[in-house]
Amino acid sequence: MVDGAAPSEDGAAATWFLDTIRLQPASGEPEDERVVRPSLGILFRMAVGPGADYYAPRFLEFERVGHGLPGWNWASLWVPSAWAFYRKLWIAGVAFALWPLLAVAAFGLIEPHLGDSWTAWLVCAALLIWLVPGVVASLVADTLLYRSTRRLVRKAEAETARPEDAARMLATRTPIAPGMALFLGGAAVLLALGVAAPNLRTWYADHVVRTRVAEVLAAIRPLQREVEDWWGLPDSAPVPPENEIAGVQRAAEIVEAVDVSPASGRVRLTLGPLVPELSGRTILLAPVLDRRQQLRWICVPVGIPARYLPEECRRN
C-alpha cells in the first residue's frame, strides 16, 4: 500500500520523495516496523556513490528491520583498511589497520604452544594475521557503511527543507576517497608487514630450534625406557655404555654427548652444532616417583631460553 501527500501542480515529479511504502509484515514482526520511505533509496544512492546498485537495496532492508545485518562484502575481504579509507570510514580504517598488529602480538603468545606441527604454525599465523581480520571486515562492512550513509542522509535532510534539496546536497559531496585509500591503505599494509615479517621470521627460527630439540627428546625415549626397566631394582646393573644412545637417531651434529647417571638414572643430553643457538647447552631428564609411586620424567634445561623449549620441558 502506498501512502503520501497529493502532488502539487508544480512539483509532481518530486512528490514521490515524500511517499512511503508499507511492506507486508513478516511473521512475528510488528506492522509499524515495515514502513520505508522510497526517497531513502534515492538518498542512499546519492550518499553511497559507487556500488549504489549493490548497497542501496541492502540499506533499505536494514532500514526496514531497524538495524544492520551481517553480510559478506568481497571488496573489504583482502585489504580491509584500504576499503574503509576508500569509503571514508576513518575510524574503521584505523581499527582494521591496527588489527594485524594486535594479531601479531596474540600469535606471539600462542606460538610457543603450537607444538612441532608446521601446518598448525602456518595455519594459525595465516588465520590470526590475515584471514580473520578480512573475514570480520567482510561480515561488518555493509553495516558500517550503512550507518555512515544513514548519518549523512539524516544530516542532509535536517539541513534542507525538501528531499530533492537533500539529494542535491548529497550529490555535491564526494562519497569516496581513492587517493586516501591508496595512501593510507598502502601505509597500513606496509606497517603490518614491517611489524609482522621480522617477528614471524624470529618465531619461525625459534620454531625450528624447538622442533629439533623435540626430535632429540623423542629419539632419547628408548633410552628412558631402558632406565625405567631397571629403576628401583637393587640388583639391577647400570645401563651399559653401549646403550647410552640406544634409540637415538644420532648424528654427531645433533647430540654431542649422552650420559646416564648409574645412581639416579638421570640422562644428560649435550646438544651439538646442528642447533647453533644451543650448541654445548644441556638438558637433564630426571626420573622421579610421584605420589602414586608412578615414574615420570622431569625435563630440566640448563641455560636454554624457554622459547627454544618444547612444551614438555616448559611444563616442569
Across 82-93, average pLDDT: 95
Give the percent of the chain with pLDDT over 90.
23
Q: What is the pLDDT of residue 150?
A: 93
pLDDT digits (tens, 9 = 90+) for 97-128: 988 888 888 888 888 777 767 788 888 888 88
Q: What is the pLDDT of residue 8?
A: 41
Q: What is the pLDDT of residue 7?
A: 40
Residue 281: HSE in the Cβ half-sphere, 13 Å Cα cutoff: 17
> What does the block give as the cell for 204?
619461525
Across 255-274, average pLDDT: 82
pLDDT confidence of 183, banded at 50, 70, 90? very high
The contacts found for 231-239 with CB under 8 angstroms, 24 or more apart, are 231/265, 231/287, 231/295, 238/262
Q: What is the pLDDT of residue 288?
A: 82
CA 246 to chain centre: 44
256 or 44, higher pLDDT: 44
251 or 298, higher pLDDT: 298
> What does the block give as the cell for 303?
641455560
pLDDT digits (tens, 9 = 90+) for 1-19: 333 333 443 443 343 344 4
Q: What is the pLDDT of residue 215?
A: 82
Rounded CA gap, 291 and 300, in Å?
20
Whether the model pTM is above 0.75:
no
